[in-house]
A and B are shown apart, each in its own frame.
Chain A
Amino acid sequence: MSVENPLYSHFAQGREDSGRPLGRLRPNAVRLKDHPILEFPAGREVEFTFDGKEIKGIEGEPIAAALHAAGVTVLRHSPALGRARGFFCAIGACSSCLMTVDGVPNVRVCTEPLKQGMVVETQKGHGHLPID
Chain B
Amino acid sequence: MREVDIAVIGAGPAGLAAALACGESGATTLLVDYMDAPGGQLIKQTHKFFGSERQFAGTRGIQIPDIFISRLSKMPNVQLMWGVNASGYYADSGVLTLEDGGKFIKVKAKRVIIATGAAEKALAFENNDLPGVYGAGAVQTLMNVHGVKPGDRVLMVGSGNIGLIVSYQLIQAHVEVIALVEAARCIGGYLVHAAKLRRAGVPILTSHTIVRALGEETVRGAVVAQVDQSWQVKPGSEREMACDVICLAVGLTPLVDMMWQAGCEMRYVPALGGHVPARDENMRASNPAVYVAGDAGGVEEASSAMISGEIAGISAAKSLGFEVQGAEARLGQLKADLAAIRSGPTGEKICAGVKCATVCGGEW
Contacts and interface: CB of A to CB of B under 8 A. Distances in A.
Interface of A: 1, 7-8, 10-11, 14-15, 18, 20-23, 25-26, 28-32, 34-38, 40, 60-62, 65, 68-69, 73-75, 78, 83-94, 110-111, 113
Interface residues of B, number: 58
Interface string B297-326: 000000000000000000000000000000
A40 B147 contact: yes
B205 A1 contact: yes
Interface in B196-249: 198, 201, 203, 205, 208, 214-218, 220-221, 226, 237, 239-244
A124 B137 CA distance: 28
A31 B203 contact: no
B51 to A, nearest CB: 20
B242 A94 contact: no
A-B pairs with lowest CB-CB distance, top 3: A86-B131, A90-B138, A40-B147
Interface in B171-211: 172-174, 178-179, 198, 201, 203, 205, 208
B241 A15 contact: yes
Nearest to A78: B129
B152 interface: yes
12 contacts: A28-B244, A31-B147, A37-B60, A69-B148, A74-B217, A75-B131, A86-B132, A86-B134, A87-B138, A89-B119, A89-B135, A90-B134
B134 A28 contact: no
A89 B138 contact: yes
Centre residue among A25, A65, A87, A89 by max chain B CB count within 10 A: A25
Contact of B119 (A22, A28, A61, A93): A93
Contacts of B146: 61-62, 65
